[in-house]
Amino acid sequence: MLITAAILAIFVYGIIAAMLGTILPDISQRFSLSPKQNGNIALFQAIGLMVGSFFVGPLMDVEGKQVGMLAGLALVAIALLTLRGAGGYQSVVLAMLLLGIGGGIVVTAANTLNADIRPDNPAVISNWLNLFFGLGGLVTPLISAKLFHQNPRALALFAAILAILGLLASVVAPFKPPSGTVSFQFSAVGGLLTDPRLLGLAFLLFLYVACEVGVWNWLVRHLVAHGVPEGKALTILSLGFALGLLIGRIAAAQILTHLDAKTVLIGASALMAVTTYFMLSSNSPGVAQALVFLAGIAMAPVFPTTLGVVGATFTGATAATAMGIAVTFGWFGLAVSSPIIGGIAGNDPKRLKKALLLLPAASVIMIIDAVLL
């Protein structure tokens, strides 16, 4: 039941992570939103993710992981129902801020369960669980288009129902009891923020999320600028990158039963550097799809394996706080990635190739970071 609760939570987050890009065209048209307002909606969701993941850690270390999971899923359900009934720009912004806070809490809470489910190798469980994040992101556009005919209110209600089901599963799941206020001291947070092990892991997440968001947000525009039809570019993204992430995490869960997690992080970072560089060098749709698929496989283990290492390294009264700090750094990568890439590219889509070379450059830094770990 604990595994079921964690799977539902991660799957729900995968759906809401992909939801903004799926529903934004309809919302923009319905409420006559400007590109700046669209950007603000995404920004408030990113701010919510950072706030939720950072502050839920100490709460869970005092009150228990179940409290965090219940609070996160409840906020997600409330935010989705608010979004479903939104009557204008302000209510959409509020809904996305709440959705970000709830999503940040859910990701942090679910990933603290890795070490509880399999204490000897939490990275394996982390890769299996985060497979469902990729699955949620993959099916959301399909469900929206085929089942709900691009109706954002129906999609929001569907996701809210899943969040409520996850909430019910978390109510009955056998969570470990909280460490309590006697064990946890808020002064320990400062020590964690200066711990070189946690900072190294958090910086790895920052770089990785910036790279992954760079692919999700900019790859299609890069391919279109170099002559690939938009429909084909979207297929390359979904059946290339998203599928690569799914298959890569299945493979990583098997590999991690034989190799040390930090070795896997070094190897994955090196493969990211190579595959993302060559991915940007091809204008042939067939070759590009193959390279994007390989890039997805290379990237797949990094996020869940890093969280697994956090869970294995930091245990006891500050375990959830350490996880929250690490995840918050990841969301910061999400917040800054697209503005930096867009700023380098400027108004010329063909300059995106130069801007996206930040991906292999960041991957090289990830190799150094992983070696230092």
Q: The CATH number of the domain where 163 resides is what?
A: 1.20.1250.20
What DSSP string describes 149-162? TT-HHHHHHHHHHH
Question: For 232-284, what is each residue's pLDDT tens digit?
Answer: 877 787 778 888 988 999 999 899 999 999 999 999 999 999 999 999 887 77
Q: Which of 65, 343, 330 is nearest to 201 (CA)?
A: 330
Q: Which of 257, 256, 278, 279 is nearest to 268 (CA)?
A: 256
Same-domain pairing of 43 and 101:
yes
Query: Could you give the number of structural domains in the chain?
Result: 2
Same-domain pairing of 8 and 132:
yes
Give the pLDDT of residue 182.
46
The count of other CB atoms within 10 Å of the CB of residue 358 is 18
Same-domain pairing of 114 and 213:
no
Distance between CA atoms of residues 59 and 55, nearest Å:
7
Distance between CA atoms of residues 9 and 144, nearest Å:
20
Domain membership of residue 292 as a residue range: 189-373
Token pair 């959409």: residue = 92
C-alpha 114: how far from chain center: 16
Distance between CA atoms of residues 90 and 246, nearest Å:
35
Longest dimension (CA), the chain: 62
- The runs of H, that is alpha helices, within the chain are 2-31, 35-63, 65-84, 89-112, 114-117, 122-142, 152-172, 188-193, 196-225, 230-235, 243-255, 261-279, 285-299, 302-313, 319-345, 352-356, 358-372
Give the amino acid at 200.
G
Distance between CA atoms of residues 47 and 24, nearest Å:
18
Contact of 125 with 70, CB cutoff 8 Å: no
Contact of 230 with 224, CB cutoff 8 Å: yes
Same-domain pairing of 61 and 25:
yes
Q: Is residue 133 part of a domain?
A: yes
Considering Cα of 180, then 184, then 185, then 187, what sign does the dihedral take? negative
Same-domain pairing of 150 and 248:
no
Question: For 170-193, what is each residue's pLDDT tens digit?
Answer: 999 888 877 555 455 556 667 788
Token pair 């954002």: residue = 152
Distance between CA atoms of residues 235 and 307, nearest Å:
30
Same-domain pairing of 147 and 201:
no
Length of the chain: 373
Distances (CA, A) of 363 to 98, 267, 270, 360: 32, 11, 7, 5
Q: Is residue 184 part of a domain?
A: no
Contact of 20 with 140, CB cutoff 8 Å: no
Same-domain pairing of 9 and 153:
yes
Q: Is residue 74 part of a domain?
A: yes
- DSSP conformation class of 178: P
Cα 213–363–293 angle (5° rounding)? 60
Give the pLDDT of residue 90.
92
353 CB-near residues (< 8 Å, 6+ apart): 222, 225, 226, 280
Same-domain pairing of 194 and 70:
no
Give the pLDDT of residue 43.
84
Give the amino acid at 295.
A
Give the pLDDT of residue 51.
93
Q: Is residue 182 part of a domain?
A: no
**Looking at 172, 201, 219, which one is the last position of a domain?**
172
Distance from the first to the final alpha carbon of the chain = 34
Low-confidence stretches of the chain (pLDDT < 50) are 182
Distance between CA atoms of residues 247 and 292, nearest Å:
13
Does residue 187 sit in helix, strand or coil?
coil
Q: Is residue 344 part of a domain?
A: yes
Same-domain pairing of 199 and 157:
no
